[in-house]
Amino acid sequence: MKTRTDQAAAQRAPGSGWRRMAPHMTPLALAALSLASPYARAQSTQAPADASVLPAVTVTGTASADATTEGTGTYATKNATIAGKTAQPIKEVPNSVSVLTRQQMDDMNVSTIQDALRYVTGVNSINYGDGTAYYRARGSQLGVEFDGVSIVSGLQYQLQFDLAMYDRIEILRGVAGAIDGIGEPGGIVNLVRKRPQDQFHVATETQVDSFGSVRQMVDVTGPLNKDGTVRGRAVIVGSDGTQSIDRTRSKEVMAYGAIDWDITPRTTISASGTYQVSPTSGIDYGAGGVLNSSLTALSGQRVPSSYTQNFSPSWNYAYTSIEEGNVNLVHRFESDWKSSTTVFYRHELSKANYAYSGPGATSTGLAEFGDQAQRTAYDWFGADTNVSGPVHLFGQTHTLTFGANYSVTTSSALSGYQAVTGPYSALGLFSLYDPNAVPKVYVPYTFGTNTRTVQYGVYAQARIKLADPLTLVLGGREAFLQGRTQSTLPTVEDWTTSAQVNHRFLPSAGLVWDIVPSITAYANYARFLDAQTQTTYSGAGLPPRTGEQYEVGVKGSFLGGRLNTTAALFRINDNNRAVDDPAHQYYYIAAGKVRDQGLELEVTGQPLPNWNVYAGYTYLDEHYENDAPDLTDGEDPKHLFKLWTNYRFSQGLLSGVTVGGGMLAQTRISRGVEQGAYAIFNAEVGYQFNKHVNASLQLNNIFNRGYYIRPPGAYYSVFGDARNVMLTVRSDF
């Protein structure tokens, strides 16, 4: 919808499968089917003297790992798919992994990914002012997967679907290139869709808040034929209302549909489609910081205002539509091996007309304004195919995964900018306190760019059981990437290559030690590669950023897996970063180095049967060598604490009552203007009227703390939400 960095702005702007049995089957038939299954073992006792009495049969075995969180009622989950394409026990993964379950998203009453990730350990979620956000962990940006399919440039500054269509959000912090591909070392986010269920079910959700917003969701799922081999799901969401910032109004309509079809008892094909439109009026990108007396640089001060001030004219408008399709084919072999192939496509159209201020402002709130028009079309395509299964060697069972993936992102962007003459002095300044005085003028498109980024590779992972308590996890990827750009306005030019990476190997290695059944220690090493688009004075592209991560940690799984804990120490060395060429202005050399290191602590799950808790603490130390932090680097707090908890009374006079709340606290950050340390507190109380209907009342930002999510720089700033109340009513049939 606009430029993605202040620097750029300044330059432009002076299911369940077949685990169901027919109801007429006898216990003997069930036992016989279990004996025939490759997933089960059976032991028979000696036949009794009375031949008419059947021998007792004991069936033991382990069901296929499942990472689904819907319906579990807990913040803890035993498995995740983000670390190796298949569901793996989180305790056995030599990486820091968090999972935001469906229950936690419901308890927090969040519907956007930026609000959800704000409460994930170690993640910095920063709103951009137009419904989009950018996300960081361990000092770098996060990448994204949609149902395990890696998509280039699909998360940062991109509008996402309403969270009603997702079962869970998985987050792996740190280097993940061996499986995910070329990208920054912050980690990856995996958004996993809800799947159709094999029993009919209807759920609704109605939300009303004190800003005047209303949101309605309906979710219907169940079998579509008599034997349940075809199952469907539909989720519809509509919302309309104002926001914490004055005069900003957003609407949204989303429709999601999915079908699972068991072609055979071992083969399932899944298909889904989603469509969403999101118009917003009165969008506000905030004000920049106050300039010094010579109006040449920021003074470190902000423009005085309330924390609900809208600094943009009411005619600002943006519209975004997103369409997505996903097809997945899974086959389970008799040998316990499984193959999975997924094809993903998403199209987004974003267009906007708006005015914004900057660079900077005077101490009296005067600033330059310009009108901007933009239209951008994005297309993302991704495909991933893999096979995985056990190998029995030397008395141990090992697991192998082999795969290949391909991702292409294309965009076609048009934009225009028109400086507007203001009433205050020859500089053409307007008052930030009267932004409606900024006229809406015709802005023709004067800049046009096409981009195309292709990434593909082959990957493998081996979980080698060295001994009963010790597992070696090896991974590797042969990576390829090409980025190309083309100018279409003011003149059409030839395509040029902006980034090229060929035949680069990205290794990873981890060691997992099961100290006792409930406690695991791990260590990992991984290398990463991130392409750069800056050019040297000679016109050549810069080599990729390279580096490695070292991580050690301890994980615990207690109370039968209901309570999980993680403690991790990490260090990431980031080399060859683009820095300004001291001898040639506007050109770059690959000489910057950064070391990000720190500590992460996390507790999630149910300490008591009716008590859910999620708590995470992060310490991050960033050290720059021959480099300086850019504006987004300055937004990484050194200390970050997050908490959400919920308790349900099940006995006595308070039976059916739930109480809960959350806290988010962080130390200072800066983008030129400093945001001091702050803490936000939320509280919630709810009641279960009967087995079908419950309601909750949530008070956010209890003490009405004024703060910036994104402090002012030369351009833009975003306030945190003021105190607000939300009523949520849910039904479940």
Check residues 629 and 537 and name the one with the higher pLDDT: 537
pLDDT in tens, 602-637: 999 999 999 999 999 999 999 988 877 766 668 999
pLDDT in tens, 212-268: 999 999 999 999 999 999 999 999 999 999 999 999 999 999 999 999 999 999 999
Residue 395 to residues 400, 466, 467, 470, 472, Cα–Cα distance (Å): 16, 10, 9, 14, 16
Task: State how far the Cα of 608 lies from the Cα of 590, in Å rounded to an integer.
Answer: 53
Q: What does the buried/exposed string (b/e) look like for 570-579 if buried means 16 or more CB atoms within 10 Å of the residue's CB? A: bebbbbbbbb
Check residues 423 and 664 and name the one with the higher pLDDT: 664
In this prediction, residue 130 carries a pLDDT of 87
- Its pTM stands at 0.90
Strands (E), 265-365: 267-281, 317-332, 338-357
Q: Give me the mean pLDDT over the 490-502 stretch.
A: 95
pLDDT over 60 (residue 9): no
Check residues 416 and 22 and name the one with the higher pLDDT: 416
pLDDT-derived band at 430, boundaries 50, 70, 90? very high
- Classify 633 as helix, strand or coil: helix
pLDDT in tens, 445-481: 999 999 999 999 999 999 999 999 999 999 999 999 9
Handedness of CA 627, 630, 633, 635 (dihedral sign): positive
Please check whether residue 175 is in contact with residue 548, taking contact to mean a CB–CB distance below 8 angstroms: yes
In this prediction, residue 632 carries a pLDDT of 64
Task: State how far the Cα of 693 lies from the Cα of 50, in Å rounded to an integer.
Answer: 53
Task: State how far the Cα of 472 lies from the Cα of 398, in Å rounded to an integer.
Answer: 10
pLDDT over 80 (residue 186): yes
Mean pLDDT, the chain, integer: 90
pLDDT over 70 (residue 11): no
pLDDT in tens, 270-328: 999 999 999 999 999 999 999 998 888 999 999 999 999 999 999 999 999 999 999 99
What region does 484 belong to: left with phi over 0, alpha with psi -120 to 50, or beta?
beta
Please check whether residue 572 is in contact with residue 585, taking contact to mean a CB–CB distance below 8 angstroms: no
In this prediction, residue 47 carries a pLDDT of 39
Q: Give me the mean pLDDT over the 152-181 stretch.
A: 96
**Tally: H helices and E strands in the chain:** 5, 39
Burial grade of 371 (CB within 10 A; 0-12, 13-18, 19 or more): buried
In this prediction, residue 540 carries a pLDDT of 86
Task: State how far the Cα of 676 lies from the Cα of 654, in Å rounded to an integer.
Answer: 40
In this prediction, residue 539 carries a pLDDT of 85
pLDDT in tens, 199-224: 999 999 999 999 999 999 999 999 99
Domains annotated on the chain, with CATH = 201-732 (2.40.170.20)
pLDDT over 60 (residue 27): no
In this prediction, residue 64 carries a pLDDT of 53
pLDDT over 70 (residue 40): no
Strands (E), 626-671: 639-648, 657-666, 669-670
pLDDT in tens, 513-522: 999 999 999 9
- Classify 613 as helix, strand or coil: strand
Alpha carbon of residue 305 to chain centroid: 32
pLDDT over 70 (residue 49): no
In this prediction, residue 631 carries a pLDDT of 62
Check residues 184 and 50 and name the one with the higher pLDDT: 184
In this prediction, residue 261 carries a pLDDT of 98
pLDDT over 90 (residue 178): yes
In this prediction, residue 627 carries a pLDDT of 75
pLDDT over 50 (residue 24): no
pLDDT in tens, 320-379: 999 999 999 999 999 999 999 999 999 999 999 999 999 999 999 999 999 999 999 999
Nearest to 366 by CA among 354, 375, 357, 353: 357
In this prediction, residue 513 carries a pLDDT of 98
Percent of the chain whose pLDDT exceeds 90: 86
In this prediction, residue 129 carries a pLDDT of 85
